[in-house]
Homo-oligomer: A and B are copies of this chain.
Amino acid sequence: MPSGRKPAAPDTNARDRLIEATAKLMRDEGYAAATSRRVAAEAGVKQALVYYYFPTMDDLFVEVLRSGADASLERMRAALTADDPLQTLWDMNSDSRLTGLNTEFMALANHRKIIRTELRAYAERVRDIETAAVTVAMRARGLDTEKYPPVAISMLIAQTARSLCNEDAVGVTLGHAELRSLIAARLAEFS
């Protein structure tokens, strides 16, 4: 295979570095900080090169969302067939790197049509996978999937994890211990 190398090194091609640099800036300083100049500097290239790979900055943002989404979906598919899908669901939605980016994209999506469309498509694919995993887990334990629809349970777990993460990010921790142990007790019933 001629081009079979996949270096995990920090630098691959310029395009990938630009995408990664944009994600980093969005996480650390918000989407408004991800300007063509700053993104280029972070990736170690000149500003004009951004427009060689991406027609507009919005196209760059969409690509950041897509590549992150693909990686996330891949991880989720693998993880949710594991021993403890519900705990895995909780853990994955507690990753502050992901929830931080997600907040930025939610804010961006509120006023940019292309990003809204892309984010919606991604969110629904994620929900489908998560719901499938919860369905399997609940049936295996003989739980009532009529009274407690798996899609509702998976939303409850994912959204609670993400909310706690978002609050942590701004320094709000009041009540977190209580909610965490309540969830932990509930999740333990499934294991």
Contact = CB atoms under 8 A, between A and B. Distances in A.
Q: Which of A119, A155, A166 has the most CB of B within 10 A?
A: A155
B30 A111 contact: yes
B179 A155 contact: yes
- Copies of this chain in the oligomer: 2
A156 interface: yes
Interface stretch (A11-19, A62-70, A101-109): A101-109
Interface in A83-102: 100
A106 B103 contact: yes
A103 B107 CA distance: 6
Interface residues of A, number: 46
A43 B33 CA distance: 27
A182 interface: yes
Given A31-B107, A107-B31, A116-B171, A179 B166 contact: no
Contact of A151 (B116, B119, B170, B178): B178
In the A-B complex, the 8 residue pairs with the closest CB atoms: A151-B175, A107-B107, A149-B178, A152-B179, A159-B163, A152-B178, A30-B111, A29-B111
